[in-house]
Amino acid sequence: MARILITSAIPYINGIKHLGNLVGSQLPADLFARYMRARGHEVMFICATDEHGTPAELAAAKAGKPVDEFCAEMHAVQKDIADGFRLSFDHFGRSSSPRNHRLTQHFAGALAENGFIEEVSEKQVFSIADNRFLPDRYIEGTCPNCGYDKARGDQCENCTKQLDPTDLINPRSAISGSTELEVRETKHLYLKQRSLRADLEAWIDSKTDWPVLTTSIAKKWLNDGDGLQDRGITRDLHWGVPVKKGDQPWPGMEGKVFYVWFDAPIEYIAATAEWADAHGKADADWERWWRTDKGAEDVRYVQFMGKDNVPFHTLSFPATIMGSREPWKLVDYIKSFNYLNYDGGQFSTSQGRGVFMDQALSILPADYWRWWLLSHAPENSDSEFTWENFQTSVNKDLADVLGNLVSRVTKFCRSKFGETVPAGGEFGPREAALIAELQGRLDAYSACMEAMEVRKAAIELRGIWVAGNEYLQAAAPWTVVKTDPEQAAAMIRLALNLIRVYAVISQPFIPDAAASMMAGMGTEDWSWPEDIASALQVLPVGHEFTVPEVLFRKITDEERAEWQQKFSGVRA
């Protein structure tokens, strides 16, 4: 039995996420966690809400609430939605937790002791009306390159030119619109990433099994242009982790907080400690996942994230851990994803374009979305959600293939043999051929799941479903029963056991439907079907079953058209 630590990129607190966010980290991480548990491994699956920084403050102000109250409410909302999608986190933490405060301050102190923190004086834009320093992205103005009048202080969205706030013509606060801006000097702490370049490069080079997407992004940020840069880890904000060296004040840093991208990844560790606290466990119980001097040397650590998060997880967070010179666990494998686009364009949080997680659950159960998103995961390139494709996939894969098999088998057995597994005779050549095909397909499915090849795994799983349907179509027990009831009973005995097998192996993708199939078969035997021939004998003759409710209903053309229109515009 292996020990697998799994983290997915933590969602930001300022709003409900869309389906593209879901499939880029949390959902495939859940798929892997569920599979690894099903194979008997010990899993720690961690996520949290990312709660610090200017966007959180602004979202709270817009909602008319104190930022801590707003974050607490939004954490509960995101946790509820995660539960709705059946995301099986062992703990869903908060980056504003006392554990994360202490750990962030601890890492900063360790980095300083080892000479990896530098105090830098720099000039930043201060808004008199807002009484705050403005991050670059909260300064707007006219681009000096193309004349676009809503360019941000870090980049012009129109011509993509990289900018500094002082480059903008007629700059203004994006928060209040005020033009009462001035440049003031302030001091900040910088993580000396360039001093850790050799460590980072050797570590990245050692990861020969990483996906090409992950490695290419990591090496681009490490080597392109000016190469790896030192990075500011503090901000002049009110909401965040106060700047301290461990539990000691940091002279000259009073009133400042750590930059959200410094404290957010540390929350992976802190959330595991929060899990221990919540379950009345000792520090040793979470340290065995994270400290290589406390048992974590045996842990395999896998991260899941969208490609935009790769630089921080291959450079900045590892630099924090390496620079501490303490025995913390570094990630072993980073599974990164491209973007999911929406129906001919992009998801837009600001415009409400696309399906957001709460809306998705309001119109269809989680399994419908889980199946489509995972079977179309943007692994090797960007992918696109269209309502036509979604309808086709649900109706064919889930309703026609899987759902139809379960319904036909159970209803036919009830009508001809009653609601118990019939005896019948021995399996013949047709059944032997099916068993051989299923064994090969199951082995391929397992290999894809081990390798985190999500789309390929979905293809293999669907192939397993199809094989069962094709067997039934060819065997035709509803015809054979008229002339050879014993042979028909053997076919149905195999098919009922096959439903239990389908429940077990489909559970990582569609957990609710799997639970319904298992309940219908009247068993709690979730043992993985290592050997298909044996697995098709698990439900004994005379075992009682019930006919499950319809697993999946079809999406009508009218519903598809309605939803396509509903989610095309600005969200109310």
**Helical (H) or strand (E) element with 434:** helix 429-450
Q: What is the CATH number of domain 370-535?
A: 1.10.730.10
Helix-helix angle 404-417:454-475, to 10 degrees: 30
Q: Provide CATH 1.10.730.10 ranges for the chain.
A: 370-535
Residue corresponding to tokens 């001919």: 344
Read off the pLDDT of each residue in 512-520 and give the average, rounded to a whole number: 98
Query: How do residues 421-472 score in pLDDT, each as one tens digit?
Result: 999 889 999 999 999 999 999 999 999 999 999 999 999 999 999 999 999 9
Helix, strand, coil abundance in the chain, percent, nearest 5: 50, 15, 35
Is the pLDDT at 570 greater than 70? The verdict is no
**Is 448 labelled a binding residue?**
no
Q: What is the pLDDT of residue 463?
A: 98
Read off the pLDDT of each residue in 265-278 and give the average, rounded to a whole number: 98
Query: How do residues 335-361 score in pLDDT, each as one tens digit?
Result: 999 999 998 888 877 677 899 999 999
Q: Provide CATH 3.40.50.620 ranges for the chain.
A: 3-115+194-229+263-337
Using CA atoms, how far apart are residues 493 and 255, in angstroms rounded to an integer?
Answer: 71
Q: What is the pLDDT of residue 353?
A: 83
**Is 143 labelled a binding residue?**
yes
CA angle 282, 286, 292 (to 5 degrees): 120
**Is 392 labelled a binding residue?**
no
Is the pLDDT at 571 greater than 50? The verdict is no
**Is 71 labelled a binding residue?**
no
Using CA atoms, how far apart are residues 320 and 196, in angstroms rounded to an integer?
Answer: 9
Residues of the chain with pLDDT > 90, as a percent, come to 86
**H helices of 291-403, where?**
310-311, 317-324, 357-363, 366-375, 387-393
| CA nearest to 258, candidates 121, 137, 47, 103 | 103
Higher pLDDT, 171 or 164: 171
Q: Provide CATH 2.170.220.10 ranges for the chain.
A: 117-191
Beta-carbon contacts of residue 153 (< 8 Å; ≥ 6 apart): 125, 134, 135, 136, 137, 138, 139, 140, 141, 163, 164, 165, 168, 171
CATH architecture for residues 117-191: Beta Complex (2.170)
Q: What is the pLDDT of residue 572?
A: 44
pLDDT bucket at 224, cuts 50 / 70 / 90: confident
Query: How do residues 356-415 score in pLDDT, each as one tens digit?
Result: 999 999 999 999 999 999 999 999 999 999 999 999 999 999 999 999 999 999 999 999
Total-model pTM? 0.94
The amino acid present at 396, given as its one-letter code, is K
Read off the pLDDT of each residue in 259-270 and give the average, rounded to a whole number: 96
**Is 413 labelled a binding residue?**
no
User: What homologous superfamily does CATH list for 3-115+194-229+263-337?
Assistant: HUPs (3.40.50.620)
